[in-house]
Amino acid sequence: MTYQDISDAIVATAQDEGMSTTIALAGPAIHRQDGLHMGIVVALNYGISFYFKDNNGRLCIRETRDLDKALSIGLDFVYG
């Protein structure tokens, strides 16, 4: 599995759960009903980054090179 596969799986899961998703220049974004958003940026074979922005405008960035952790971060957002 690659970082891009992880990103695609997280987006597909979010869509299956009824969340809206958009594709931006940097990568996909997932929008939850509670106003939270998460962007995903895949850096080829170097890693994957998750960008979270909440209703207060705070930005949190989580980066990882671990595929299992990347999937966990994404699914935690979708089901959180």
- For residue 11, the model assigns a pLDDT of 96
- Tokens read off for 17: 């759960």
pLDDT for residue 35 is more than 90: no
pLDDT for residue 55 is more than 90: no
- Cβ(42)–Cβ(5) below 8 Å: no
Mean pLDDT of 40-58: 88
How do the residues of the chain divide into helix, strand and coil, expressed in percent and rounded to 5?
35, 35, 30
pLDDT for residue 24 is more than 90: no
User: Where are the chain's structural domains?
Assistant: 3-79
